[in-house]
Structure 1
Amino acid sequence: MKSVSKAALAAAFMLGAPALLAASPALAQKKKEEAGQQIKLSEPFRKAAAEVETLVKAKDWAGAQPKLAGLDSLAQSDGEKYYAAVFRLQVTSGLNDMPGTMSAIDALLVNPNTPPADIGRYSYFRGNYAYQQKKYAEAITHLTKARQLGYAPADSNLNLRIAQAQLDGGQIPAGVASIDAAIKAEEAAGRKAPESWYKVVVSKLYTSGDKAGAATWLNRQLAVYPTADAWRSSLLIYLGQLEDKGVTLDADQRLDVLRLMRASKAMGGESDYLSYADVAQRRGLPGEVKAVIDEGRASGKVTKTNAAINQLYTTASAQEKAEVPLANEEKRAAGAAKGDVAMQTGDAYLGTRNYAKAVELYRLALQKGGVDTNVVNTRLGIALALSGQKAEAKTAFGAVTGTPRGEIAKFWTTWLDLPLA
């Protein structure tokens, strides 16, 4: 949460200062009519306060500070205590004495003479200071009071400040609800909430163990900010959720998740590229192994000194040279009784980014049958999506059912619907 600078705090409290204590009868009568009441002051207090006020007007904070204790001792009524607290507020703000400023605010918050309009402002600053001191419960109390009184700080979103205090104080559901309210308020005003608001919710939910909640908020974040980082986080959290449920992805399923990570530009460091290349190698797709490693090297994310990746690349290069030409495999697929050869050939074409041929072979595989239609429709959707055939891709993905295949297809469909795609 953004803190309020001492300079800003001092400036805020220089505004709305009390009227001159030694006011003329006419001015006093005017203020009485405006306020509906007039604060009565004893002569000893009035005299001492007038001296402090003169120093405050001159911004002689060092000169005024020693006189505050005497003013406090003379203050007997609530009205006198109100003026004493206001002067203390101004002087301590001028001296950048934050503890002293907050002490004055505490006195003003309980004084019946404090104007209602000021209570919200004081509550806000008091809550902000409590948050900086990591006194989250106290911060929530004061900030919520400020919101109830309709105070709207010019430099921040009050709902977000409350949410941050709730989240950092361990009140996760309440904090999430407050950020949700802050986001909706921004949307109602025709603005887009900052991506950081979504990120803080995702982080808090994930670290608290609520991965399902984190995934839900990541989907919201993706809908507004379809960034590579958001995609990476979303897919990693999804994989973590599966592990928590005891679900282990097979090589084909993991490969299709990694393909989406690659398509959404969400590949991270060498570990991602190593994982991708390894699973593609195990699925017998040397062309895809080489392509993803080349891409990682070109981006600078994969170094040429990584022994494990270099070994995969060398092996894939040798396998690629030894492979039967795909044109021959196409003929074999066309003459086969079932669609398994067509599916395998489609996989090879997909790995080398020949999407038109991949689509053709996957459709042949579905026509001949004898294959896992969920796998083939996923791959058909991927080939169509990567070739820019959005409507056809969504139809293919829509035919995929079951867990986790259906979930993987939905992730791809989401990617198609977002601007980054």
Structure 2
Amino acid sequence: MMKLISHAALVAVLAAGVTVTAVATPAVAQKKKDKDAGAPQLNLSEAIRKPVSEAQAAIAAKDNTTAMAKIAEAEAIAKTDDDRYVVNALKLPIVAQGQDQNALLPVLDALISNPKTPQTDLPRYNYFRGAIPFQNKKYADALPYLTKARDLGYQDQNLALQVAQSMIETGNVQGGVAEIDKAIKAEEAAGRKAPQDWYNYAIAKLFASGQKAETAAWLQRSVKAYPTAENWRKVILVYRDGREAKGGQPLDRNQRLDLFRLMRATKALADQSDYLEYANLAYQAGLPYETKAVLDEGKATGKIPATNATATQLLRDSQAAIKSDAPLATIEKQASTSGKAAMGAGDVNLALGNYAKAAEFYRLALSKGGVDTSEANLRLGQALTQAGDKAGARTAFQGVTTAPRSEIAGFWTNWMDMSPTATATGA
């Protein structure tokens, strides 16, 4: 999810601002402080002055070999915090130029813990002290330093996500996902769109930890941010599979059918397996009109080959069932007898693409009772969405109060909100 730190960036950031001013007496220290308020004022031990001065001259001459030899000489006789600070401050940019980033860790540790290190340098020192183990997937080691860098105000486009990932990989999934949420909102506040990978990572970790409701909410956020047909398909399938994972309660036939209707509405049916599973579910639900419409659409788009034997047989069966079914007028006339009969009339009209009429029968079913209120409102919302009545659909979806149908209603609401027209797919 994160980009690795380039070697050039590492050298540039760690070398920036390293200035050492060595002084001998309080009077001289005050004069230097007035002259250069940005540099730390150091009172070095007498013995260390010569190797430090020689190391600085070698650094200026770009002679790192000599510089490191003089720094080692100074380090061996360092006695005070001032001495140890100057040794590590001179060593840091040279070590950063090497290829072994881990060699920086003891240098950064020494600088972070030294009271003489300027407070303005601590944010970047903490950041790189955490970023290096982060790149090596040592998240427990990385997390306290990355968090400290953030708290000290360090600015890096990856920092928030590095903190989040470190939290998640050390077991704090909710805390890490909350950090991703903050990062996404910060991007939005800055007028930018957060990368899709950020959503995908949060979804994957919530899914793996069995947090079904949270996974569903993030899937809805993902598809709202990236409403492509491909993402709709992925989001719907991940949601469906997540409901069945880790001993969860699988979606029933009607709930799966409502998801396939959403896939069809969002044009997310990708191949013949999608179309055939959808058509078979509709057939099992006693909706041969919908089976035929789905198969006809799959063949027309070329996603179901004309030679597909399963599709041919299912189409033949659906046509036979349509002939043997009661006429539509009879089904609609019976709707007044009970809520269940009204639901049946609504389902047939929904399957036929008669969305406004389907909505009438779903409302009738709700008024008569004896039906699952959440299911009836979900179907009513679908019908009104396809009919273009967004206000009515929103009210219906709000009436879906029990999971998983309430989650499915959330997906339908997202599609309705994103679609300019939310027009019918047609049967």
Query: TM (normalized to structure 2)?
Result: 0.80
Q: Which runs of structure 2 are paired with 1:1-400 in the superposition (5 Å)?
A: 1-19=2-20, 29-33=30-34, 34=37, 38-42=41-45, 44-153=47-156, 156-228=157-229, 229=231, 232-233=234-235, 236-237=238-239, 240-241=242-243, 247=249, 249-267=251-269, 270-293=272-295, 295-296=297-298, 302=303, 304=305, 310-317=309-316, 319-320=318-319, 323-324=322-323, 329-333=327-331, 335-336=333-334, 338=337, 344=344, 347-356=347-356, 358-359=358-359, 362=361, 366=365, 372=371, 374=373, 377-398=377-398
The Cα offsets for residues 189-248 of structure 1, whole Å up to 9 and x where unpaired, read as 454443332322221121122222222333444454445425643564356436767645
Q: Secondary structure at the match of 1:3?
A: coil
| TM superposition shift of 1:95 | 2.9
The Cα offsets for residues 19-38 of structure 1, whole Å up to 9 and x where unpaired, read as 46599x99965433337974
Which AA in structure 2 matches 1:276?
Y
**Is the contact made by 2:55 and 2:67 (CA closer than 8 Å) also made in structure 1?**
yes
* In structure 2, C-alpha distance between the alignment counterparts of 1:368 and 1:44, rounded to whole Å: 94
Measured at CA, do residues 416 and 303 of structure 1 come closer, stay the same or move farther in structure 2, by a change above 3 Å?
closer
| TM superposition shift of 1:123 | 0.6
The Cα offsets for residues 117-160 of structure 1, whole Å up to 9 and x where unpaired, read as 1111101111000211222122111112212322223xx14332
| Aligned CA-pair RMSD | 3.9
Measured at CA, do residues 138 and 379 of structure 1 come closer, stay the same or move farther in structure 2, by a change above 3 Å?
closer
Moved more, 119-128 or 159-168: 159-168
* In structure 1, C-alpha distance between the alignment counterparts of 2:342 and 2:281, rounded to whole Å: 21
| TM superposition shift of 1:293 | 4.1
* In structure 1, C-alpha distance between the alignment counterparts of 2:324 and 2:123, rounded to whole Å: 76
Measured at CA, do residues 179 and 323 of structure 1 come closer, stay the same or move farther in structure 2, by a change above 3 Å?
closer
Measured at CA, do residues 80 and 384 of structure 1 come closer, stay the same or move farther in structure 2, by a change above 3 Å?
same
Q: Secondary structure at the match of 1:112?
A: coil
The Cα offsets for residues 288-342 of structure 1, whole Å up to 9 and x where unpaired, read as 3344345456667x463995xx41333314642774499x823334554637777
Which AA in structure 2 matches 1:292?
V
Q: Secondary structure at the match of 2:337?
A: coil
* In structure 2, C-alpha distance between the alignment counterparts of 1:350 and 1:304, rounded to whole Å: 26
Note the residue ranges of structure 1 that are not aligned, 5 or more in a row. none
Measured at CA, do residues 70 and 241 of structure 1 come closer, stay the same or move farther in structure 2, by a change above 3 Å?
same
**Is the contact made by 1:61 and 1:95 (CA closer than 8 Å) also made in structure 2?**
no
State the number of aligned residues. 413
Moved more, 137-146 or 61-70: 61-70
